Amino acid sequence: MTAVETQITYSNSYTIHQDEAYMIQEEDWDRDLLLDPAWEKQQRKTFTAWCNSHLRKAGTQIENIEEDFRNGLKLMLLLEVISGERLPKPDKGKMRFHKIANVNEALDFICSKGVKLVSIGAEEIVDGNVKMTLGMIWTIILRFAIQDISVEETSAKEGLLLWCQRKTAPYRNVNVQNFHISWKDGLALCALIHRHRPDLIDYSKLRKDDPIGNLNTAFEVAEKFLDIPKMLDAEDIVNTPKPDEKAIMTYVSCFYHAFAGAEQAETAANRICKVLAVNQENEKLMEEYEKLASELLEWIRRTIPWLENRVSEQTMRAMQQKLEDFRDYRRVHKPPRVQEKCQLEINFNTLQTKLRLSNRPAFMPSEGKMVSDIANAWKGLEQVEKGYEEWLLTEIRRLERVDHLAEKFKQKCAMHEAWTAAGKENLLSQKDYETASLMEIRALMRKHEAFESDLAAHQDRVEQIAAIAQELNELDYHDAASVNSRCQGICDQWDNLGTLTQKRRDALERVEKLWETIDQLYLEFAKRAAPFNNWMDGAMEDLQDMFIVHSIEEIQSLITAHDQFKATLPEADKERMATLGIHNEILKIAQTYGIKLSGINPYTTITSQDITTKWDTVKHLVPLRDQMLQEEVARQQANERLRRQFAAQANIIGPWIQTKMEEISHVSVDISGSLEDQMNSLKQYEQNIINYKSNIDKLEGDHQLSQESLIFDNKHTNYSMEHIRVGWEQLLTTIARTINEVENQILTRDAKGISQEQLNEFRASFNHFDRKRNGMMDPDDFRACLISMGYDLGEVEFARIMTLVDANNTGVVTFQAFIDFMTRETAETDTAEQVMASFRILASDKNYITVEELRRELPPEQAEYCISRMTRYIGADSPPGALDYISFSSALYGESDL
Q: What tens digit of pLDDT does each residue of 455-501 get?
A: 888 788 888 888 888 877 887 777 788 889 889 888 987 888 888 88
For the chain, give the percent of residues with pLDDT over 90. 14
Which CATH entry fits the domain spanning 752-821: 1.10.238.10, 3.40.50.920, 3.10.150.10, 2.40.40.20?
A: 1.10.238.10
- Pairwise CA distance, residues 44 & 886, whole Å: 49
Helix axes 756-769, 815-826, angle to 10 degrees: 140
CATH superfamily of the 37-271 domain = Calponin-like domain (1.10.418.10)
Q: Tell the burial category of 256 from Cβ atoms under 10 Å away from its Cβ (0-12, 13-18, 19+).
A: buried
Spell out the residues 6+ positions from residue 572 whose beta carbon is closer than 8 angstroms to its own: 532, 535
Please determine, looking at this structure, whether the domain spanning 426-629 carries the CATH number 1.10.3720.10: no
The answer to whether 891 and 881 are in contact (CB under 8 A) is: no
Say yes or no to pLDDT of 861 above 50. yes
Sheet with 6-10: strands ordered across: 6-10, 14-18, 115-118
- What is the CATH architecture assignment of 638-748? Up-down Bundle (1.20)
Give pLDDT, residue 21.
33
Q: What band does 23 get if pLDDT is binned at 50, 70 and 90?
A: very low
Q: Where in the chain is the domain with CATH 1.20.58.60?
A: 278-409, 426-629, 638-748
Are the CB atoms for 132 and 14 separated by under 8 Å?
yes
Distances (CA, A) of 434 to 441, 443, 514: 9, 13, 12
Distance CA 410, CA 471 (A): 14
Specify the pLDDT at position 525.
82
Q: Which helix (H) or strand (E) holds 115?
A: strand 115-118
**pLDDT over 70 for what percent of the chain?**
89
Residue 29: strand pairing partners: 10
Domain with CATH 1.10.238.10 in the chain: 752-821, 835-892
Q: 3-state class of 757 per DSSP?
A: helix
Helix 187-196 crosses helix 156-168 at what angle (to 10 degrees)? 80
CB 359 within 8 A of CB 392: no
| Centroid of chain to Cα 612 | 80
Gyration radius of the chain's alpha carbons: 56
pLDDT given for residue 178 in this prediction: 94
pLDDT digits (tens, 9 = 90+) for 226-256: 889 988 898 988 988 899 899 999 999 898 8
Q: What DSSP assignment string belongs to 56-102?
A: GGGT---S-HHHHTTTSHHHHHHHHHHH--PPPPPP---SHHHHHHH
- Kindly indicate the confidence band of residue 516, based on its pLDDT and cuts at 50, 70 and 90: very low
Lowest mean pLDDT among 32-46, 782-796, 878-892: 32-46
Phi, psi of 600 (to 5 degrees): -120, 125
* Higher-confidence position of 484 and 822: 484
The model's pLDDT over 203-219, given as tens digits with 9 standing for 90+, comes to: 999 999 999 999 999 99
Cα 41 to Cα 48: distance, rounded to the nearest angstrom: 11
Instruction: Please name every residue paired with 290 in a beta bridge, in sequence order, or none if there are none.
Output: none
Lowest mean pLDDT, pick from 265-274, 370-379, 526-535: 265-274
**Nearest 10 degrees: CA dihedral of 321, 323, 325, 329?**
-170
| Residues 131 and 11 sit within 8 Å (Cβ to Cβ) | yes
Angle at 266 between CA 261 and CA 267, to 5 degrees: 100
Helix axes 245-308, 832-842, angle to 10 degrees: 130
What pLDDT digit, counting tens, does each position of 328-339 carry?
Answer: 888 888 899 888
pLDDT at 13: 29
Per-residue pLDDT at 547:
77
Q: How far apart are CA 174 and CA 166, in angstroms?
A: 11
Cα dist from 168 to 177, 182, 188, 332, whole Å: 11, 12, 7, 64
> What whole-number distance in Å separates Cα of residue 332 and Cα of residue 326?
10
pLDDT digits (tens, 9 = 90+) for 633-655: 888 888 888 889 888 998 999 99
777 phi and psi angles, rounded to 5 deg: -120, 145
Report how far residue 376's alpha carbon sits from residue 341's, in angstroms, rounded to the nearest whole number: 12
Q: What is the CATH code for 835-892?
A: 1.10.238.10
Does the pLDDT of residue 836 top 70, yes or no?
yes
Tell me whether residue 396 is exposed, middle or buried, using C-beta atoms within 10 angstroms of its C-beta: 0 to 12, 13 to 18, 19 or more.
buried
Residue 208 main-chain phi, psi, to 5 deg: -65, -25
Return the H-helix or E-strand segment holding 10: strand 6-10
More confident residue, 706 or 751: 706
Residue 18, pLDDT above cutoff 70: no
Q: What are phi and psi of 253, to 5 degrees?
A: -60, -30
Of the candidates 108, 104, 103, 119, the residue with the CA atom closest to the CA atom of residue 16? 119
Asked whether the beta carbons of 399 and 316 are under 8 A apart, the reply is yes
Question: Is CATH 1.20.58.60 correct for 278-409?
Answer: yes
User: Would you tell me how many other CB atoms lie within 10 Å of the CB of residue 563?
Assistant: 11
How many CB atoms neighbour CB 801 within 10 A? 19
Predicted structure pTM score: 0.54
Determine the Cα–Cα distance for residues 759 and 138; give it in Å rounded to an integer.
Answer: 56
* Average predicted confidence (pLDDT) for the chain: 82
| Calpha distance 467→749 (Å, rounded) | 76
